[in-house]
Amino acid sequence: MPTMGNLHAGHLSLIERAREDADRVVYSIFVNPMQFGPDEDLDGYPRTLESDEAALGKHGGVDLLFLPDLRTIYPYGTDSAVSVSLPPLGNDLCGASRPGHFDGVASVVLRLMNIVMPHTLVLGDKDYQQRVLLQRMLEDLHVPAAVVSAEIYREPDGLAMSSRNGYLTAEEREVAPGLHAELGSVAQALRDGACDYAALESVAMANLAERGFRSDYVSVRRAHDLAPPDVFEAGDERIVLAAAWLGKARLIDNIRV
């Protein structure tokens, strides 16, 4: 399980999911500079190794904690490192506002996979686009490992757990569950037969703005590959995804329909 640390209960829940499919569980913590844009929070990203180790020890279930340094992952440095170039989906949705982000994620995950050589890769569904892209990478490059998905772990009020929730002020934290609530409204409309996807997305973004969010997107896609509505076929499972800023925190969430 690749993570960047600053662990919360959602991270720890991945251990239980891994135990369902694996005899031994390897957990990694590495803050990957290659997935941060020039205006993003690499220097300020929380590094909480001591409390992370304590949380993993208390939770149990991890056989090896892998803590590589920068040179282990990028022996020739980051400026001249070999990188993975993902298909166009990597530049869509979250990739549209974070250019190069998913290529950076894929580049570090492939390195971790080659070092550890696991049989399965456990990924949480909160980062749904990331999971779809990493699964595509493993299949495309014939990496002999299966992707296992874990459901989104939520706070009691519906907010998806995330390290970046720590950036929310107390007032913003009260507002934050509104993202999940708005996605729930779109999902219910879809279940009720609505099919004007552009209108649903537009209304949802307007509603989020009224709640105090600054939306990057709300989008209805095909669940298994995140293809847009113009290629939907009868019986396709759909998913509603969103990314929105609330103060300093960029929140993402999704609901399958």
b vs e for 138-170, b when ≥16 Cβ sit within 10 Å of the residue's Cβ? Answer: beeeebeeebbebebbbbeebbbbbbbbebbee
Higher-pLDDT residue of 7 and 38 is 7
DSSP lists the bridge partners of residue 154 as 160
Residue 178: per-residue pLDDT: 98
Query: Can you tell me the distance from the alpha carbon of 127 to that of 241, in angstroms, rounded to the nearest whole number?
Result: 10
Q: What is the CATH number of the domain that holds 14?
A: 3.40.50.620
Residue that is last in its domain, among 98, 121, 150: 150
Dump pLDDT digits (tens) for 146-204.
999 999 999 999 999 999 899 999 999 999 999 999 999 999 999 999 999 999 999 99
Are 133 and 32 part of one and the same domain? yes
The predicted model gives 25-30 an average pLDDT of 96
Residue 28: per-residue pLDDT: 97
Structural domain includes residue 233:
yes
Domain region containing 203: 163-256
Are 133 and 191 part of one and the same domain? no
Structural domain includes residue 156:
no
Are 15 and 126 part of one and the same domain? yes
Are 144 and 169 part of one and the same domain? no
Are 85 and 174 part of one and the same domain? no
The 10 Å Cβ neighbour count of residue 87 is 12
Q: What is the CATH number of the domain that holds 227?
A: 3.30.1300.10
Are 136 and 245 part of one and the same domain? no
Q: Are 65 and 53 in contact (CB under 8 A)?
A: yes
HEC letters along 82-131: CCCCCCHHHHCCHHHHCCCHHHHHHHHHHHHHHHHCCCEEEEEHHHHHHH
Structural domain includes residue 143:
yes
Query: Can you tell me the distance from the alpha carbon of 11 to that of 124, in angstroms, rounded to the nearest whole number?
Result: 8
**Active centre residues (catalytic):** 11
Structural domain includes residue 155:
no
> Over 90: is that where the pLDDT of 226 sits?
yes
Higher-pLDDT residue of 58 and 218 is 218
Are 105 and 177 part of one and the same domain? no
How many residues comprise the chain?
Answer: 257
Structural domain includes residue 157:
no
- Banded model confidence at residue 44, pLDDT cuts 50, 70, 90: confident
Are 179 and 126 part of one and the same domain? no
With a pLDDT cut of 70, the percent of the chain lying above it is 100
- Banded model confidence at residue 234, pLDDT cuts 50, 70, 90: confident
Residue 51: per-residue pLDDT: 95
Question: Total structural domains in the chain?
Answer: 2
Structural domain includes residue 197:
yes
CB-based contacts of 184: which residues, under 8 Å, 6+ apart? 158, 255
Are 177 and 132 part of one and the same domain? no
Are 137 and 81 part of one and the same domain? yes
Are 22 and 89 part of one and the same domain? yes
Are 70 and 180 part of one and the same domain? no
Residue that is last in its domain, among 150, 171, 192: 150
Structural domain includes residue 158:
no
Residue 41: per-residue pLDDT: 77
pTM of the model: 0.94
